[in-house]
Each structure stands twice: as C-alpha cells, then as structure tokens.
Amino acid sequence: MSQPAAADADAIRLKQRKGTWRRFIRLFPKCRLPWFWLVLYILFDVGTINIGLSETDLTAQLFSGDTSAGLVFRLIAVMVVNLVATNLSVFLGHVTSAKINRNMRGVVLDKVLKLPMSFFKEEEPREAVYRIVNNAIVIDSTIMLVILPLATAAYTAVSVFGRIFKYDWRLSVILLVFIPLQVFLAFLFGRINFSLSDREASLKASLTQRLAELVTNIPLAKAFVREDREARRGAELTQRLYKLSIKGSWLDQLQNLSDSAVSLIQTLIMILVAYTLLRNGEITKRAWVTFFLFSSVFNGAIDQFMMYYNNLKIIQGGADRVAEIMNAPEEDRSGEPCETLAGDLALSDVSFSYPSGKTVFSDLSCTFPDGQITALLGESGAGKTTLINLLLRLYPAEGGQITAGGADVSAFSLDSYRSRFVTISQNAMLFSGTIRENVCYGNGEVSDEALTGALRKAGILDFVQSLPDGVNAPVEEYGRNLSGGQRQRLALARALLSDAHYLLLDEPSAAMDAIAVRDLLRLLQDAARGKCLILIAHTPAVLDAATHLVVLEDGSAREGSFEELLPQSAFLRALSGKEATA
Amino acid sequence: MTAPKEKGLWKRTILLFTNIRIPIPLYLLQVLFGIASTRVALMYVPLEAQLKLGNIEENTTIFTYLGLMLLVALASILAQIPSFYSTAIVTRRLQDKLIDRSLRLPMRSYESRASMIVSWITQDCTLANGLLSSIAGFVTGIASTVMTVSTMSALDKGIGYVIVIIVIYVIFSTWLEGRLLFLRQRRDRLAQSELTAFFAEHLSFFTEIRQLHAASEELERGRRAIKRFYDADIYMAVLTLINNFVSGSIPNVITILVFVLGIRSVNAGTMTLTELAAFQNYMLIAYQSFSSLPQIYSTLMYYNGQLYYIASLMAEKEDVYDRAVSMPDAPADLRFEDVTFRYGETEVVSHASFTIPAGQTTVIAGPNGSGKSTLLRLIERFYTPDGGQILLGDVPAEQIHLGDWRRSFGYVLQEPQLFDGTVRENIVYGAPEGVSEDDVNRAVRLAGAEDFIRELPDGADYRIGENGARLSGGQRQRLAIARALLTDPSCLLLDEATASMDVSTAKAVSDSLEGCMAGRTTVIISHDMNVLSRADHVIVLSDGRVEAEGTREEALAASPTLRALCGGEEAA
C-alpha cells in the first residue's frame, strides 16, 4: 500500500472509532447476557478480594510480633479460605465466559444468516462472515477482560487505601500522590512503544507475506531454474525479518525498562518517606509493616488498571465489526406467500450498479420463458451472476420491475419466493457429512424412495450404491473425496429433490470437459421438463440444449433463438466459432 | 498437535540441528544470567524479611535493600538479551536452510507438502530456539535449586524436611497436570476444530446457503456446533479448577505449611520471626527454580513433536542438477518410450510411447483426468517416470543437466504464478540478469501484452498485486507468456493457457501465441478442440494410455474419444 493511501485509511479508521463505544454499549441488551452468572461471579470476586486483604492484614499482625495461637489460627484459616475462594472465582469466571460466548455466537450467527447480501458490499462474503464469527467473542473479552477487571482493580485500590488510612493518613497520602505520576509515565511510555511497535508489526507482516509468496512460487523458480537467485532473495528477506525482530525485542526491553523504572522510583520514594516517618517515631512499627505489605498490593492494582485499559484498545477493532453487524437492518421477511408461483420470469427496465457506483447494466429487459431452457450468455463481467442474484432477490433491483407469471416479485415474502428457486452453482456446495445429508440439505425430511429417485435422475445412483455405505457414505470437507462431475451430480440430485419451479444452473466450464457437460445437459433436459430452467453458459456445448438465448452484451440484453441472434451478436459468433465463416 | 509416534524421531531432530550453526555462547549467557538473578534474589531475602518486620536498625539496611532491588530489575532485563538474540538467530538460520532445501526438492516432494511449507518456514522455525532454550532453562533450574537449598540449609531450624514434602508434591502435581493437559487438549482440539470447520466450511457457502434457502437449517447446525463447543468449555473449566487446586496453589500451600510448622519453632524460641519470613521466601524461590524441572521431559517431547515436520523436510533428498551431458544445441525429437508414472497406487500414465516432433506443434487431447498435465510435468522433468524412459533424440533425458533442460522449456499454465511486484519484475523473472530492454520489448510484443501494459497507470512499473490480483485473467496470462518467451525457450508447453479467459480474450491470446509458435516445438493441452486446426501432430490420451497418434485426420479416424470431444457421436 502506498503511503498516502495508508494515511487516509488511518484517518478514516480514527473517525470511525469515535462513537464505536456508544454503538458497542447499545449492543449489550441484544446479547442475551447470563446475568445470574455475571452477578454471582462479581459477588464472589469482591468476597475474594476482601479475604485476600484480610490475609495481608493478619500477616502484618504476625510480622509485627503477635505470634499468639489465636492469630496464627485465624491467619491459616483465612489463607485456606482464600485459596479455595480464589480458585472457585476463576472457575466461575470460566463458566460465565463460556456462557457469554455461547449466547453471543448464537446471536451473531442468527443475525448473519438474516442479513441481506448487500451488507457485504463488494467484499467476499465468506471472508467477512468468517471474521465476524471470530469476533463474536469480543463481548466476552470486553466484559471479562476489561470491564470487570477494571472494576476489580479499582475496588482493590480503594479498599487498600481505606485500610492504610485507618493506620495513618499521611501514609495514605503517599499512595495517592503517586497515582498521577504512575499514570503519566505509563501513558507516555505506552504511547511511544505503541506507535513504534505498530509500524514494526505491519512491516513484519508484509515481509512474512513476501516470504510466503516466495515459498508458494517455488514451482515457478524450478521451471525457470531460478533456485539460486530465489534462495538469495529468501536470505535477504529473513535477514530483514531478523533485524526487525531484534529491533522489536530491544523496544520490548525499553518497555520493560520503563516499567521497572516507574515502579522502582515509586517504591524507592514510598519506602524512604515511610522509613523517615518510622525513624522519627511518627508512625508505629505495625503501621510500617502494614504499609510495606499493602503498598505492593496497591501498586499492583493500579498497574492492572492500566493494563486492562490497554486491552480495551486491542479489542476495539473486533468491537467495531460486531457493533456494525448487530445494528445492521435484516432482510425484510414480510409479504404474500407464493407456494405455487410459476410462469415466465421477466425483467423490464431493470438497472443495477455496485455500491462503488460502477454500473453493471441499466434499463435491461428480457424474458425467461416458462417450460423452456434458456441459456444466459455474456463475457465475464457482463452481469450474468448479478442478473441471477437479482432474480433470487439477493439484491434489490434499482428501478424497473421483475415479474414472475406476470406478478411483481417484490410483493412476495422472501422465504416463500426463494423456495420456488433452486440453484446449482459452479461451486457445488458440498460439506463434510454423509451423501444423504448433502443431498437432503435444504429440503427438509426426505423419504428413501424420493432420495433414490433423485439420485437416479441425476445419474449418480449407480455410483452411490457402489460405495460401501451407500447414501451414508462420508463426504469430506468441500466434497474433496469426489470428482468434479460427481459433485455436480450430487448438487443436481439436491436440486431435483426440491419442488422448486425455477432451476438455475451455473455451467461449470473449467471443471468439466465437453463430454461431461453434454452428459449433464442431457440429464437436465429430462429432469427439468415443465419447469423453467436457466443456464449460465460459458462454452458452446450448451447452445444445443437451450431453446431460448439471452445474451448480455454492450450493456443490454439480446434475446431469441440461436439463428435469430447470430447475425446481431458478435459474442455469440465468437463463442460458437462461427466468426471465421460468418 | 500430538507428536507422531515414530522411531528415530530424536535422531531426525538432532540431525536438524546439525544443519545450522547454534550460537552456543548465547545459550551459555542465558544460563549464567539465570544463575546470577537467583543469586541476587537470594541476597535480597534476609533484608526483605527484616523490612517486612520493621526491624530497621541501621540506614544501611534500607539502602542495601533498595540497591538490590535495582540489581534484580536490571538482571531480569539483561537476562532477556541473549534470549531474544538466540531466538532471532536460530530462526533465521533455520529459515534460510529450509528455503534453500525447499527450492531444491524434487517436485513431488514439494507438492506433497506445498500447502504446509509456508507455515513451517514462517512459524515453526521459531520453535527450534524453544527446544534449545528449554535445555538452557533446565541447567539454570538445577543450579538455582542447588544454590537455594544450600543457602536455606544454613538457616535450618528443624523444618527443612518441608522441602522434601514439597518436592514429592511437585512431582505428583506435574504428573497430574500432564494428564489433565492431555485430556483438555484432546477435548479442546475436537470441539475447536468442529466449530471452526462449521464456520469455515458452511459459512464459506454464504451465497449458496441463500440460493438453496437453507438459513434455518444452518442456524440449527450452527447452534449444535456452538453447544458442543460450550460443553467443551465447561469441561475445561472443571479440569482447570482441579489443576489450579493441585498445581497452581503450590506457593500458597508452601506459605501455609511454613507458617503452621514455623510458628511452633518461633513460640518455642528456636527461630526468630525474621528467620520465619526469610524461610518462606527461600521456599518460594526454591519452588520457582525447581518447579519446571520435572516438566523437562514433556517440554522436550513437545518441541520434538512440533519440529517433526521441519526435521523431516530437512531430511528430504535434493534434486541433482548436474548430469553427464549438457543440453544439445541442435533441435531433436522428444520421445517417450513405454513411460509409466504413478501417483501412489494409481497409474496416471501407463506404458505411453509417442514422439513430439521438433519444430512442430503437437496437441495432446483427452478427457479430464486422462493424464495430460502429468505428461507435461514429465516432459519438464518435474516428475521422473516410474518405468520406461524419455529421450531427446537418442540421449536419455536423465543424463542431461537438469537446469539446462528446464531452461529450454517455456511452461505456461492455466493459472500462471505471478508475484507481488511490478509488471517488469514479473516479466524478467526467468531471464538472465541484465537482460536488454530490446529483448524485453520483443517478448512483450510477441505475447500481445504491449497495448495493455502501455495503458496501465504506471506502465511496466505498475504493481500487479498478490499473484497478479490487480490484472485481469487475460492480462496475467499474457505476462506469463512474455515471461516464458523472454528466456527464448526452444520448446513451449501450454497447459490450458486460455481456458480461464473470455471468448474474445482467449482468441486474442491464441492469436499472439500463434506468432510465437512458429519454428518452435510447441505442446498444447486444451479443452477447446479448435486448436486441432493448428496441430501438426496429435496425441490422444485416455485413462493414461495413448489411444492414437498422428496427424489430425489420422487421430480423428483412429480415436473415438477424440471424436466425442470434438462434437459428439454425429462426427463418428
């Protein structure tokens, strides 16, 4: 990324951060927090802190010379209770976290599934979704790693202050005086280190990225016999990474040094002042001992306070994303049912442009006649997929109208409308599970006969029956253990099981050779009889099967039979290889 | 990740370390600094005990105390320095070795690991230092424990036997911790992978879920995965609770034990309070030094398991480039004689015999999976035949220098590999250093890339993004062709070079390729049977066997497969 672009991105991010927290807090009521467990955990935590303070108090008494059996007994009892309570409190924290995460993941998943496609803009939805789901734990992090620890640290600091105050007000003043100094120094060093290490981290990421690229491109290096030069380039990269890592470590040392310096200076002054008071007989030995033991607890609490504050920054990015998604509007689910919808699909004067403003097409009109096979053709980027997505109402059309059987489709409820469609995409969606699970996916309860019938029609029954487990045979992640043709046929069987009236097929060009494509089309012609079938086509092989063609070319749609369109369409001539003769 | 159970695992790991120079002085320094900080901490104890009790008779006490405090802070920072240097050095040396090794692996060894090598090199290499550092830590731990115990024994007031109890307890708790960790990891990994698999796999089909109208089904599946992850979380919380009680509480248990046993000695007058306070601190230091020692075995096993993959990569054999003869200058026919090649059990190419005539265009046709691309890789000598031989003229290919051989082939794939750099950097990738501007321009013109490069914002200095993401498919392919032509190969291998392009782009690229093919031996694989019109020679493959060989007409007449590929049965 070039420098100005990076600076711009930074400025935008900064602007967005303002108001993030307001949006984020407003999120809390939507997250189904386990309030009972949260309250229980907080109460337990407060109790544990008090027990811990009593333990320090009693230890101080012991060290001041009180070795009576009563005190020792009490001290040991408190120690045991403290031990148990601390562990239980950690346990409660884990349980509460688990519950928050469970609820939150469910809420986010539910929300993501109801979002309109347009939410993702031009971003690849799969990446966005994955990131969002990972960020779901951000609520837990905020509560358990920021809000509660901040409260706990504050509570500890105040309690210690109260106890010291009871012994001698002057000692408590010493504690107070140092808070601003501590905060200031920590802030200063934190600021310096943060900006430095942020830059280092992004440089490191880019170097690692280049190293990864070098390794990925090894076949290229072999093909061009560049092994030696690439090894040298690799060594240059690792050398730069090395220097960066050393520099980063020195920065860490600087941070450590500054941390120790702050706490050293503080302890030094505290002890010297208290020591002077003790020497002059202004405070008792007991007060000194108590102060000595408690001051480290107090400093620890303040340090923690600042550490958790830094956590806040770390989780901010995730918070942004979750807040954005949770506050986004969902797809509108209202409208009339249309269980028996059929008839021609038609677009009239439909326009569509990306959120970036780039127009895909404007005032486009075309018809997909019922009971026929229509081939949808066009260069990549001509808007074939966009058109299909508009038909499915994954995106709203801008201007114009889409009708099915003469009725405006926007009047129908999304659920009922989309259930009239079934899509066989290039990327046949197969997931780890059994063949049965994959084929029945999205079709509810399916009888064995119906399943066998669909597999037969899709021409894959023989193959499935030849497997040791038949329909219960395992499918690996993304259907890796099946060939491209087998995956397509399973997807076809799945489509045939649904009682959808409109079938959309994105022809897989690269994955199948001409023989396989022809076989698939023959199956489709039988299976789709009486339905409305739309083929997105990339090869001339489909032209024979289609009875109607829609060609997206030069921003408009031409339609008709092959013979009618051939004279008008340069694209069609190129595709069918008839250019030379035409 | 569990350590693969295999004999010779350690041998392999040790072999890994013989490949790099280990910065021994840095590890020695780590040990020395470790011992020094324990020494300082021990000196600190009696003073702190006095301060804790408020027994400050002289000013020197407090100043010595503050001085030591400075020293402790300084020592802990100093101790970090050799440690981060050794991490960075060992990582870099190992990375260099591994990159070099990966570059020179035979193609099949590389391919079988391709997806993992990146993370081995960028991530796993840092683990090597972990192994060495934990050995250094072990030595430090022993020395510190001995030092602490001997200091403590000077103070022994009859409660020294506490240390024996604690040693036994630590060993027990380490064992238990190991068991619990094992249970926890197993359960955790299962649930974690299940949840990740769900989100990664299912939600990657986000558009398809919409198209198939399956949101409610996904929600239900997702909830199930989330629930199972939650159950695993709770299970882990319970295990952690047990573990914390047993192992995590040792310092508290030590304090309680010391007080319970010590107070009696204090009341009996055999021990002062100061000594009790000091004793408590000594015990804690002894515990810190000692606690990690029983874990050394599992730590080493852990690293050994983690390093398994890079150790086995290092143990792989490299390709041999130097062979008996160098590449002959005169063009000669490339002949396959009864060549067989297997991927595991499956025979991808079986007993293939055919000729690729020099200076002519040969098309290899066949359905998907018939072994066409494998043939090209055999020609390029990325793969070595399992049977039969490949000859150039009359010279067996394996006698010819591998580098010379590969340099004489220009290989263009369906999805070309490009890297994130400028257009020019990508084009000159394979060319000798200092290639002339004229040569570059000629290659660019021949590849039909001149026009689009001129129209790019920075021309030849335009950055093309990761794997050429900022270019279109046709543009990427033309760069790859220019890159191949710049090395002036005597033979061009085109593997579906235009398959991922639009019709009109594909036509333009084919036209520009035609110019390059004149007078060069060219081998083409394509789905598009229109290429047959350009073929001087056709080879038809079916299930790894040569079904027909000859001119286009001869092949069509002899091969039913080719007829089917060319337009169905009606042609027959």
By Cβ distance, the residue of A125, A379, A432 closest to B206 is: A125
In a domain, A29, yes or no: yes
pLDDT the model gives residue B350: 92
A323 shares a domain with A426: no
In a domain, A390, yes or no: yes
Q: pTM of the predicted model, to two decimals? A: 0.75
> Sorting pLDDT into bands at 50, 70 and 90, what band is A88?
very high
Average pLDDT, chain A: 81
Q: Say if the Cβ atoms of B226 and A105 lie within 8 Å.
A: yes
CB pairs under 8 A between A and B: 325
Q: Which residues of B touch A120 (CB under 8 A)?
A: 206
pLDDT the model gives residue B63: 82
pLDDT the model gives residue A1: 36
In a domain, A145, yes or no: yes
For B462-483, write each residue's pLDDT tens digit: 998 877 888 887 888 889 989 9
Provide the phi-psi class of A98: left if phi over 0, else alpha when psi is between -120 and 50, else beta: alpha
A481 shares a domain with A555: yes
A residues 393-412 near B, CB within 8 Å? 394
DSSP labels for A57-85?
HHHHHHHTT---HHHHHHHHHHHHHHHHH
Report the share of chain B in percent with pLDDT over 70: 93
Sites in chain B below the pLDDT cut of 50: 1-4, 569-572
Tell me if B188 sits within 8 A of A405, measured CB to CB. Answer: no
Q: Say if the Cβ atoms of B210 and A225 lie within 8 Å.
A: no
A residues 43-102 near B, CB within 8 Å? 62-65, 67, 72, 75-76, 79-80, 82-83, 87-88, 90-91, 94-95, 97-99, 101-102
For B311-356, write each residue's pLDDT tens digit: 888 888 888 888 888 888 888 899 999 999 998 777 889 999 999 9
Tell me if A457 sits within 8 A of A526, measured CB to CB. Answer: yes
Q: Which residues of B touch A212 (CB under 8 A)?
A: 118, 121-122
pLDDT the model gives residue A509: 57
> CB-based contact (8 Å) between A126 and chain B?
yes
CA–CA separation, A352 vs A396, rounded Å?
Answer: 9
CA–CA separation, B4 vs A397, rounded Å?
Answer: 56
Average pLDDT over residues A52-73: 86
A182 shares a domain with A155: no
Q: Which has the higher per-residue pLDDT, B143 or A499?
A: B143
A327 shares a domain with A199: no
Q: Say if the Cβ atoms of B240 and A102 lie within 8 Å.
A: no
> CB-based contact (8 Å) between A191 and chain B?
no
A520 shares a domain with A391: yes
pLDDT the model gives residue A130: 64
3-class secondary structure, A166: helix
Count of domains in chain A?
A: 3
A147 shares a domain with A50: yes
- pLDDT value at A115 more than 90: no
A residues 195-214 near B, CB within 8 Å? 208-214
> A175 CB contacts (<8 Å, ≥6 apart)?
A160, A161, A164, A270, A295, A298
User: How far apart are the CA of A142 and the nearest CA of chain B, in angstroms?
Assistant: 18
For B492-510, write each residue's pLDDT tens digit: 999 888 776 777 777 777 8
Nearest to A364 by CA among A392, A384, A337, A336: A384
User: How far apart are the CA of B276 and the nearest CA of chain A, in angstroms?
Assistant: 9
CA-nearest residue to A271 within chain B is B62
| Residues A404-411: contacts with CB under 8 Å, at least 24 apart | A404/A338, A404/A341, A404/A342, A404/A343, A404/A344, A404/A345, A404/A346, A404/A502, A405/A341, A405/A342, A405/A343, A405/A344, A405/A370, A406/A343, A406/A344, A407/A338, A407/A341, A410/A335, A411/A335, A411/A336
A150 shares a domain with A185: no
Q: Which residues of B touch A98 (CB under 8 A)?
A: 230, 233-234, 237
By Cβ distance, the residue of A94, A105, A288 closest to B240 is: A94
Which CATH number covers residue A440? Answer: 3.40.50.300
Nearest to A544 by CA among A576, A566, A511: A576
CA–CA separation, A487 vs A427, rounded Å?
Answer: 9
Q: Say if the Cβ atoms of A257 and B466 lie within 8 Å.
A: no
A539 shares a domain with A396: yes
ipTM: 0.81
Q: Which residues of A touch B69 (CB under 8 A)?
A: 264, 267-268
Report the share of chain A in percent with pLDDT over 90: 16
A residues 93-122 near B, CB within 8 Å? 94-95, 97-99, 101-102, 105-106, 109-110, 112-114, 117, 120
A185 shares a domain with A153: no
> CB-based contact (8 Å) between A314 and chain B?
no
Q: What is the gyration radius of the CA atoms in chain B, in angstroms?
A: 35
In a domain, A301, yes or no: no
Q: Which residues of A touch B507 (CB under 8 A)?
A: 574
Q: Which of A290-294, A366-370, A577-581, B403-407 has the lowest mean pLDDT?
A: A577-581
pLDDT the model gives residue A294: 85
Tell me how far apart the 2 most distant CA atoms of chain A are, in Å.
113
A212 shares a domain with A136: no
pLDDT the model gives residue B533: 84
A143 shares a domain with A43: yes
pLDDT the model gives residue B339: 95
For A235-291, write each residue's pLDDT tens digit: 999 999 899 889 888 878 877 787 777 777 777 887 888 888 888 888 888 888 888
Tell me if A430 sits within 8 A of A475, measured CB to CB. Answer: yes
Q: For residue B292, which amino acid is it?
A: S
In a domain, A305, yes or no: no
pLDDT the model gives residue A487: 84
CA-nearest residue to A220 within chain B is B417
CA–CA separation, B205 vs B199, rounded Å?
Answer: 10
User: How far apart are the CA of A404 and the nearest CA of chain B, in angstroms?
Assistant: 17
User: How far apart are the CA of B7 and the nearest CA of chain A, in angstroms?
Assistant: 30
Domain that holds residue A567: 345-576
**Of A298, A331, A364, which marks where a domain is finished?**
A331
Q: Say if the Cβ atoms of A245 and B201 lie within 8 Å.
A: no
Nearest to B293 by CA among B427, B142, B450: B142
Tokens at residue A376, please?
């949808």
Q: Number of helices (H) and strands (E), helices first, in chain A?
A: 21, 12
In a domain, A6, yes or no: no
A350 shares a domain with A316: no
Q: Which residues of B touch A478 (CB under 8 A)?
A: 201
User: Chain B interface, mutation test: which of A82, A92, A113, A115, most B Cβ atoms within 10 Å?
Assistant: A113
